[in-house]
Amino acid sequence: MNKLLETISLRLLRYLPAEIAHSTTIKMLKLGFASSKDLRASDFSETISNIFELRFRNPIGLAAGFDKDGEVFDQLAQIGPGFVEAGTLTLKPQIGNPRPRVFRLSSDNAVINRLGFNNKGIMDGLQRLSKRKDKSVVLGVNIGINKNTQTPVEDYVECLTLLRNIADYVTVNVSSPNTPGLRSFQQVEKLEELLNTLITASMNHNDANRPLPLLLKIAPDLKNEEINEIVDVAVSSGISGIIISNTTLSRPGNLLDAKRGEAGGLSGAPLFELSTQKLAQTFLAAKQRIPIIGVGGVDSAETAYTKVKAGASLIQLYTALIYKGPRLFTEINKGLSEALKNDNIEHISEAVGIEADYWASKEV
């Protein structure tokens, strides 16, 4: 896709309602609109990382929520991410919450969504993802629970078991604000039971003859004391890593867009400071015992580098793609490489957490 066509496409998509624009984007990807070689990222030795015993060609990933049903993994792999997290997938298909349920806050470079885990179910996603061709990009799969399930722990286990020969890692989503009761699994007692059960299930080796890495995704609305408790439970359980954060129910006072009062989780630029503060708190609580993926408001090399210095070994983004387009992965990875060289840092791992104390104490 040349730059002119890319610019025109982005502008046209913004005239469509947000959810229709998203489904149109998926269709465009299927048709090969992102197959141009100039969108593919170069590998830089200073940003290639080995995390969770997996090789990440660069540390910038696509967060869950974009490719909910694992429809376009190979197409997304061509635009430069080091990893793509499909989902959220639930055991059974579900339609999610009533529309409209996604709202662009264009004045704030943000989005509010209350989708409610709309997806075609784990079996449908597995059929698609099992056919992936590009193994140079790490595949993560985000799993959640159906709204009306009576057996949430068992559902998580079944999803995990089904994925063990397909996914490179699996993320347990207990932090979406749009499924009633889901965030209660961040409570220590419930979380401990869930993670211990899942870790036992994950010890069944996949075809690569290695334990399947299991990650936990938490909310930015947690108090620091809660984060400390969650990290201790996560580390004790043997989990591989933590993703911080999901969307927030809070609303910064400086939001400009008229749709700022819509119910749901807020993502994008206004989430950056809060999610980065919580990232730093998580990093300090983890004491380098497990790696952390930083998510929330990343839209440039500068914001990505800030996440790294606050404690992220890997970074994810999503909302910024809506506003800045598919070149973002390549631009951020190149900019990260340049920033590390400017700071005389040989490898990105040396920058992880160097400003964690500052961000953990920052008022947001």
What's residue 203's pLDDT?
81
* Cα 113 from Cα 10, distance rounded (Å): 20
The segments of the chain whose pLDDT lies below 70 read 1-8, 34-41, 204-209
202 catalytic residue (yes or no): no
Fold for domain 3-360? TIM Barrel (3.20.20)
pTM confidence score: 0.95
Percent pLDDT > 90 in the chain is 87
The residue from 176, 237, 245, 313 that is catalytic is 176
Amino acid of residue 107: S
The burial class, CB within 10 Å (0-12 / 13-18 / 19+), for 232 is middle
* Nearest partner of 129 among 164, 162, 166, judged by Cα: 166
Question: Please, which residues have CB within 8 angstroms of residue 8's CB and are 6 or more apart in sequence?
Answer: none
What's residue 32's pLDDT?
83
What's residue 211's pLDDT?
81
CB 138 within 8 A of CB 126: no
What's residue 215's pLDDT?
98
CA atoms within 13 A on the CB side of 173: 25
CB 253 within 8 A of CB 204: no
CB 102 within 8 A of CB 266: no
- Domain chopping of the chain, boundaries: 3-360
* Nearest partner of 217 among 311, 309, 318, 141, judged by Cα: 141
What's residue 41's pLDDT?
56
- Cα–Cα distances in angstroms (integers) from residue 85 to residues 121, 170, 189, 199, in the given order: 16, 9, 27, 20
> What share of residues in the chain are helix, strand, coil (percent, to 5)?
40, 15, 40
Q: What is the DSSP string of 75-99?
A: HHHTT--SEEEEEEE-SS-B--SPS
